[in-house]
Structure 1
Amino acid sequence: MDERKKIIEFKHIVKNFGDAVVLKGIDLDIYENEFVTLLGPSGCGKTTLLRILGGFLEPNEGQVILDGEDIKNVPPYKRELNTVFQRYALFPHMNVYDNIAFGLKIKKMSKDVIDQKVMRMLKLIGLEGFEKKDVTLLSGGQQQRVAIARALVNEPKVLLLDEPLSALDHKLRKEMQYELKRIQQEVGITFIFVTHDQEEALTMSDKIVVMNKGEIQQVGSPEEIYNEPVNRYVAQFIGESNIVPAIMLEDEKVKFDDTIFDCVDKGFKDNERVDVIIRPEDIDIVPVEKGKMTGEVLSVLFKGVHYEIMVETVPGTTVNVNMHIVGDNTKRSEDGKEMISANDFYLDLEDMEGIDDTEIIARAGAQAWNPETDEFTSIAHVETDLKQETGEYHVTFSTSNGLEVTRKIWVIDQRVVENKKANEAISAFNFFKTADEIAESQALDTDLKVWANAQAWKLDDEDENVELFVDYDFDPENLKQGIYKVTFSTTGREFKIHTTDYVEEGKEVGLTFNPEDIHVMEKMGF
């Protein structure tokens, strides 16, 4: 049981802006004297949550408890917290002293007390002797310190900081990260800090709340978030990652890239599909014979402190096909009220068994339509001399009105490209299309896969599909008749490694890591 005192409790906070749900039921506890960072990309809801706490927005649902009291109806100026904004919002007509003293003067404190508090703040932020300075002449870092002092001098229970370092240059930003942490430890109050900068969060926080699309993904210390991310999103957002799809065979046994590895993770279902993360600094490059896996060095990049080395452990599999762009093969009925078109196509001998009219229509891209309304009409008949042996055949598609078009089918014994190291195979066919069909495609990558009947699968399990990617160098809007190359490929596997040792490009190396360097995460649902 956590014996620390809860200072803030968010209970099922929901916030909508029109139809957009910005916060989707946030539950979060924050304790006294914690430095908590809300971390996430723009639009994730972190600033909205901060503004609800500050009283600048009202939630549609839920409660905000501050020090045991529901503060929903407490106006911002009466809440025992202060905010430091991104743009500081200093008063340009006041000097440093008067900016810091502003809140105390509103409370009608005596001049002696105000003087003591302001001078203490100036010492805390390292700006002693600056009290008479014009704030508009201060540097960005100095202005930010004044904004922090103005908020802290009111002795709030909580200080809210909305991306206060974003306007600073890199060097000053780094300095202020340590400065803010020092100030928080010295004044001993709770800081809630909003940022999209992962390094900032890791440097400063006691607790990080990783957010995405209005939901909390993970809450934990910087070490927990970095070393034990709960899912792919957190792993990719915090630090650099090698993320690999895997199967958790049983406790402490995980399989990826067709190899079984020892790990330290437990509590997953047997044979559950998971993701594995291995950080680049946790992988060592060793001689081939000592590696848990082997690969080829693809690139070496010097990053100042270390080399960033990319090693391909599993080569991708590639197949090239020819896309034949042919002339317009559309036929029009004599009365001009119906049109029909179809393409020549290839068939694999293995696909012949059980092939029906519906699949032949799909493979040929056959269609009929009314040119006046653009409404499709049905293809009523398919006639073909197709046989279950290699060769050239014909197929005739016709509508119920008798409009027809005849095309060729080539039945071939299709070559399959096998990649035994990757345990996968890939095949695809040459295909025929008109320039208009390419230009009118709404999802060209998907259509190219369909037209080429491109497929990839595991050699040891033909029912397990492998993701395919498409590459081409033609302009879909500017095609002439001719032959164009289309490449279908799988990704293979590359690992990023951070090391102080130089390795030559093209060298075969071994990679090794410890069981505790493998972090198993739940699969994200999309």
Structure 2
Amino acid sequence: MEKKKIIEFKNITKDFEGQVVLKGIDLDIYENEFVTLLGPSGCGKTTLLRILGGFLEPSGGQVIFDGQDIAKLPPYKRELNTVFQKYALFPHMNVYDNIAFGLKIKKMSKDVIEQKVMKMLKLIGLEGYEKKNVTLLSGGQQQRVAIARALVNEPNVLLLDEPLGALDLKLRKEMQYELKRIQQEVGITFIFVTHDQEEALTMSDKIVVMKEGEIQQVGTPEDIYNEPVNEYVARFIGESNILPAVMLEDKKVRFDDITFDCVDVGFKENEAVDVIIRPEDIDIVSIEKGKMTGTVESVLFKGVHYEVMVETVPGTHITVNMHVRKHNEVTSSDNSEKISANDFYLDIEDMKDIDDKEIIARADAQAWNPETDEYISIKVETDLKEELGEYSVTFSTGKTSITRKIWVIDQRVVENKKANEAVSAFNFFKTADEIKESMALDTDLKLWANAQGWKLNDENQIVDLSVDYDFDAENIKEGIYKVTFWTTGRVFKIHTTDFVEEGKEVGLTFFPEDIHVMEKMGF
């Protein structure tokens, strides 16, 4: 039997003072469904719930409830009730009176009210608590009273805005099952808002994954977990190994230079895609039985299983010298100007487009008035040639100048063919003050070293670099320090009940149906 559609969101938009929060939401909700709106803070899930509840008006679109547009209808005229994270119980009333409050407003007879309240107390497992002060109840009991107060009015839909957020972990897990039981017993539609993936997977018939005011995917918990449509959903629901890949043809996908059988169809030939393999779907086997091989980097016992990290493709590293000097500035004879600059290295390949602006930037040259801190323009004079060697460069203003060295070199590039990537970086010179004053040291180190990473088969495709160093930026002294720039290798996370030793070479295997192919996501 086909379920009846009870709620339709049609192209719902909402903006607050020009900031768009919902970007054209279309969503159908059916009778007796437990629907969860899932997403991080700021994704628009609570705004959508409040629009349905009548606490906010949409900027555009229609809210259809049981065939009627209710966008302009006040909350008290809608056949739904809301349970909030802060339960908003009346502290001066006991449990019975809190639950009966809405019925008394409707001026029902005492015997009908008593019958309905006692039925709700039985449903929520609080028989015998009717005369108890709500302030003496536990968090879980207060939440049950709030749910009963909403359900006693017999709404067609119950809205729950992160109602478990104030509970501790153990109680929250208990209440997940309790909420699902109540929903099945009363047989009405629940619409639940949360950012907790476990809550969504445990309770829902349908999950709506949201991001930045848009719906990313709608489906059952099994659909969302096993067949995420993109990287965002895959990362938000459960733990994932996500890899860039190419769909060669139907049921054939290639990643990490290996072609695998899969079950996915409907992609273009040689289409760039993402692949997800869940940690529990990968088995650790002997090297000769593995579809791919790697080295065990870490093993962490998680209680019911081991979390094993296996590196199958090594990362790429390059280490440079950071020369730290005491100071590098010169003051004019009348003390009205200061100028500073650093020595630097230059790849001969970069000589083709070099100009004064680039030289000033590479040397981090600057001149300023020490009283006002206003910058002063700089002139550049150099004997720089398009040849390997050591050269001089002078930076000057009208009153002062400073001379530094440029070394033109054939820059070393570290290639990692297995990872299809390369990295390069230069030795560089800085003062201790420049390092101490850095607001984002990792970013500045990459800039100062001109550190870069790229794909070997496409130099325009940038590879992210991380930075390692062992000095204390706040207490750094003159000297030479090692700075390493590196890319993350391919590391697979595996959940297994079998222990494996760190450092061991192992094989990894999985079935074609464990490989889930997704469209590339544009960020």
SS at match of 2:499: coil
Q: Which residue of 2 aligns with 1:81?
A: 80
Distance 1:413-1:33 versus aligned 2 partners, 3 A rule: same
Rounded Cα–Cα distance in structure 2 between residues aligned with 1:385 and 1:190: 75
Q: Deviations over 1:279-327 (max 9, x none)?
A: 1001111111111211111111121211111111112121211111224
| Mapped contact 1:324–1:483 kept (Cα < 8 A) | yes
SS at match of 1:101: helix
Say whether residues 1:432 and 2:429 are aligned partners: yes
Q: Which residue of 1 aligns with 2:276?
A: 277
Q: Deviations over 1:352-409 (max 9, x none)?
A: 56655554444333344555665555544432154624x4x22233558485433223
| Mapped contact 1:12–1:26 kept (Cα < 8 A) | yes
Q: Which residue of 1 aligns with 2:169?
A: 170
Distance 1:443-1:112 versus aligned 2 partners, 3 A rule: closer
The 5-angstrom pairing of residues 97-496 of structure 1 reads 97-333=96-332, 339-349=338-348, 351=350, 357-369=356-368, 374=373, 376-384=375-383, 386=385, 388-389=387-388, 391=389, 393-399=390-396, 401=398, 404-441=401-438, 443-496=440-493
AA paired with 1:47? T
Q: Which residue of 1 aligns with 2:520?
A: 523
Rounded Cα–Cα distance in structure 2 between residues aligned with 1:21 and 1:499: 44
Q: Which residue of 2 aligns with 1:16?
A: 15
The 5-angstrom pairing of residues 61-80 of structure 1 reads 61-80=60-79
Rounded Cα–Cα distance in structure 1 between residues aligned with 2:219 and 2:109: 43
| Mapped contact 2:57–2:72 kept (Cα < 8 A) | no
Rounded Cα–Cα distance in structure 1 between residues aligned with 2:212 and 2:457: 39
Rounded Cα–Cα distance in structure 2 between residues aligned with 1:13 and 1:487: 49
Q: Deviations over 1:201-246 (max 9, x none)?
A: 1011011111223222221111111111122222111111112223
Distance 1:473-1:65 versus aligned 2 partners, 3 A rule: same
| Mapped contact 1:379–1:397 kept (Cα < 8 A) | no
Rounded Cα–Cα distance in structure 2 between residues aligned with 1:436 and 1:95: 65
Rounded Cα–Cα distance in structure 2 between residues aligned with 1:275 and 1:168: 37
Distance 1:350-1:49 versus aligned 2 partners, 3 A rule: closer
Q: Deviations over 1:315-340 (max 9, x none)?
A: 21212111112243334455666554
Q: CA deviation at 1:117?
A: 2.2
AA paired with 1:513? F
Distance 1:164-1:442 versus aligned 2 partners, 3 A rule: closer
Q: CA deviation at 1:194?
A: 1.3
AA paired with 2:209? V
Q: Which residue of 1 aligns with 2:28?
A: 29
Rounded Cα–Cα distance in structure 1 between residues aligned with 2:258 and 2:291: 9
Rounded Cα–Cα distance in structure 2 between residues aligned with 1:126 and 1:22: 39
| TM-score, with structure 2 as normaliser | 0.91
AA paired with 1:263? C
Gaps of 5+ in 2: none
| TM-score, with structure 1 as normaliser | 0.90
Rounded Cα–Cα distance in structure 2 between residues aligned with 1:31 and 1:274: 33
Question: Once structures 1 and 2 are overlaid, which stretch shifts more, 251-260 or 328-337?
Answer: 328-337
Distance 1:398-1:3 versus aligned 2 partners, 3 A rule: same
Q: Deviations over 1:58-91 (max 9, x none)?
A: 2232322211112233221221111122232233
Q: Which residue of 2 aligns with 1:498?
A: 495
Rounded Cα–Cα distance in structure 2 between residues aligned with 1:354 and 1:11: 54
Distance 1:238-1:277 versus aligned 2 partners, 3 A rule: same
| Mapped contact 1:205–1:222 kept (Cα < 8 A) | yes
Q: Which residue of 1 aligns with 2:51?
A: 52
Question: Once structures 1 and 2 are overlaid, which stretch shifts more, 167-176 or 505-514?
Answer: 167-176
Distance 1:91-1:398 versus aligned 2 partners, 3 A rule: closer
Distance 1:388-1:177 versus aligned 2 partners, 3 A rule: same
Distance 1:442-1:127 versus aligned 2 partners, 3 A rule: closer
Rounded Cα–Cα distance in structure 1 between residues aligned with 2:328 and 2:133: 78
Rounded Cα–Cα distance in structure 2 between residues aligned with 1:130 and 1:463: 68
AA paired with 1:408? K
| Mapped contact 1:381–1:400 kept (Cα < 8 A) | no
Rounded Cα–Cα distance in structure 2 between residues aligned with 1:388 and 1:323: 24
Distance 1:41-1:356 versus aligned 2 partners, 3 A rule: closer
Q: Deviations over 1:433-457 (max 9, x none)?
A: 2234434555543332233232333
Question: Once structures 1 and 2 are overlaid, which stretch shifts more, 163-172 or 281-290?
Answer: 163-172
| Mapped contact 2:367–2:397 kept (Cα < 8 A) | no
Q: Deviations over 1:103-127 (max 9, x none)?
A: 2222222333323322322232223
| Mapped contact 2:176–2:202 kept (Cα < 8 A) | yes
| Mapped contact 1:83–1:162 kept (Cα < 8 A) | yes
When the two chains are superposed, the root-mean-square deviation of aligned CA atoms in Å is 2.7
Rounded Cα–Cα distance in structure 2 between residues aligned with 1:403 and 1:101: 85
Q: CA deviation at 1:183?
A: 1.6
Aligned length: 523
Rounded Cα–Cα distance in structure 2 between residues aligned with 1:147 and 1:353: 72
Distance 1:410-1:95 versus aligned 2 partners, 3 A rule: closer
Q: CA deviation at 1:349?
A: 4.8
Distance 1:375-1:218 versus aligned 2 partners, 3 A rule: same
Q: CA deviation at 1:41?
A: 2.0
Question: Once structures 1 and 2 are overlaid, which stretch shifts more, 197-206 or 515-524?
Answer: 515-524
Q: Deviations over 1:37-76 (max 9, x none)?
A: 1112223222222222112222232322211112233221
SS at match of 2:52: helix
Rounded Cα–Cα distance in structure 1 between residues aligned with 2:458 and 2:158: 57
| Mapped contact 2:322–2:480 kept (Cα < 8 A) | yes
